Chain A
């Protein structure tokens, strides 16, 4: 069973300095409960959850405070018991520096759990299990925060060849998965066993970069005692980004999952080891996801991993580690892919695997960007086998169509290209810019299509009204038909017999009715208001309030 696993390789990649040592000396500590928790409602990919509480409500630890909005979404929970002091816009742990709806909880210090019951997933239908996980707020902890219940679906065949657990942790500084594997290997493996069962996977491969011998040893020890022999720990060569899901799948199985396709269609699925642990907690203990392990590293006196409640301010967390005086920024994530936070007063969320404290000395401002000399270094480093300079060339000039032709959306934003570029071009920034522009254009295009439909509809309506008027006029006058025809001819294009005209008007009216039903917004702007319209106006009022609300912080930070 433990035959030597054949390893494959992916192209590109880089070997930056790892800086992992300092945060692994001490075991995981539990970060103290802060005086105020700010829990953003929107913490995962998908629709923003709807708030279930309002200011003044009391909540228990693990109580659901935000309900998943549809299936592609995930619930959020109170990290401790206390009182909701506000549901309001708060600064998000997001580079934009914008705010979003958060539930602000003042802990009561009792740390009182809601009722917890293990979930018997074997007895439940797969759909029920997935709904349970969605409501338990389990999302991927490897960084992408994709709702895990959606990934726990074996796909077309109903079973998988390989479940990959991602313990590579290839980014410098981050060690949260490392210490998790060291300290909680057995529970992690139980989670893995649950996932294997749910996915009907024939085997589980846990890929760990070979610079983490302790974690490998711990997992091997734990799996030795385990009856589930399908779980295998594999050391993979240390090379960033070996932890990228596609890269790790490639290394472990030789399969390359193309962009835009589901890995389950290739018989593999990949989860972060932390996710496996979270699934264990949710299923076996009935605990929703309310905390995670976060590495605090970088420009601090004592780097360390903490178990942190979501909603804890990063400032409080960093303060535990004796930040050095020249600290000038806080980064969520690692140095290769992390995001600079607008302030250190943003909450830790499910995506926070690391709070990296930075300074000019540690992460100096790169020298000015020079023009790309097409040296091809970036292409050599790109793990997705892209031509980064071509994507850059066209993104820079805002020729997004071309950038897409060079597979912009295959880029995993790993940062290898920018890392090696002799011209110090912030390549990834250009890709992020291009991607978000392309998305925005799609939205704009939809809006334009909507406007076109509505405009055409209005023209049709005006046309019909004109015709109706003409018909009335015709009916009134003695000359009747002749004049009506003349009036119609004026209103419409030439040469239509009155018969056709009438038919046309009928069709138009029918069309309009159908359209009006479809739109559900009744743009009949005459006569008295229907209940529907009243409701519409109320809804609009609410939206307006929201817009104004959103506008305020934005205007503030604009300059």
Chain B
């Protein structure tokens, strides 16, 4: 009994001291993981993930408090990248947090706009310019399509327009695998 206590106590003192020492001595600050996660998030800042912006969501993921499938703008692609970074399992986008939509930008109908500036206050990336009682407009290049400006508008003059393609931005489509005909023909 006594030997047991002595042996273990000896170990405990040595290890405890060493750990305590090391913990202070070798402490490092900051969490580079958050930055890495944030770099993957689309920065739409829409809050659909349930956090007030991409960075807070990134912090929550880093702490293990949030799943990686809560960001609809990031979509499947974003989930894959996060899973890759964190070594977690890929999951389908959580339907609780929304569904993936085509990328759009806000468009203000200037005929209806009353210049109330409410949308300006809502836009997280300052993509709306205008002034009180003046017509407002969206800087297309800077709009992230977060839709946060839609609800505050008292006259519902903002709509989301899918971004059209141009020859430059056109992408080759995923090659369509046509496999049905042969079977149908046989049937």
Contact = CB atoms under 8 A, between A and B. Distances in A.
Interface in B159-177: 161, 163-175, 177
B139 A555 contact: no
Assign chain B's interface to a size class.
Answer: 35 or more
B59 interface: no
Contacts of B137: 537, 540-541, 544
Contacts of B101: none
Contact of B54 (A398, A429, A452, A523): A452
Given A98-B170, A432-B172, A541-B137, A523 B126 contact: yes
Interface string B66-82: 00000000000100100
Interface in B135-156: 135, 137-140, 142, 144
A551 B139 contact: no
Main secondary structure of the interface of B (DSSP, over half): loop
Contact of B131 (A92, A98, A440, A526): A526
A525 B170 contact: no
A96 B167 CA distance: 7
Contacts, number: 129
Contacts of A95: 172
Given A452-B38, A454-B126, A550 B166 contact: yes
A100 B168 CA distance: 9
Contact of B130 (A99, A426, A443, A525): A525
Given A440-B171, A544-B140, A525 B182 contact: no
Interface residues of A, number: 55
Residue with the highest number of chain B CB atoms closer than 10 Å, among A48, A95, A544: A544
Interface in A500-559: 521, 523, 525-529, 533, 536-537, 540-541, 543-544, 547, 550-551, 554-555
A100 B139 contact: no
B129 interface: yes
Contacts of A533: 129, 131
Contacts of B174: 433
B101 to A, nearest CB: 15
B114 to A, nearest CB: 15
Interface string B111-124: 00000010011001
Contacts of B86: none
Interface string A419-443: 0000000100110110111011001
Contact of A536 (B53, B126, B129, B144): B129
B164 A525 contact: no
16 contacts: A42-B167, A94-B167, A95-B172, A98-B167, A368-B182, A369-B178, A398-B80, A430-B175, A435-B172, A436-B171, A448-B43, A451-B43, A454-B126, A455-B45, A526-B132, A544-B140
Interface of B: 38, 41-45, 53-54, 77, 80, 107, 117, 120-121, 124-132, 134-135, 137-140, 142, 144, 161, 163-175, 177-179, 181-182
Interface of A: 42, 48, 92, 94-96, 98-100, 367-369, 398-399, 426, 429-430, 432-433, 435-437, 439-440, 443-444, 447-452, 454-455, 457-458, 521, 523, 525-529, 533, 536-537, 540-541, 543-544, 547, 550-551, 554-555
Given A369-B179, A451-B142, 16 more contacts: A96-B167, A99-B167, A368-B177, A368-B179, A399-B80, A451-B45, A452-B38, A455-B43, A455-B125, A521-B129, A525-B129, A543-B140, A544-B107, A550-B166, A551-B161, A555-B164
Instruction: Please list the 9 inter-chain residue pairs (A to B) with the smallest Cβ-Cβ separation, ordered nearest first.
Output: A523-B126, A451-B43, A429-B175, A432-B172, A551-B164, A436-B171, A96-B170, A454-B125, A448-B43
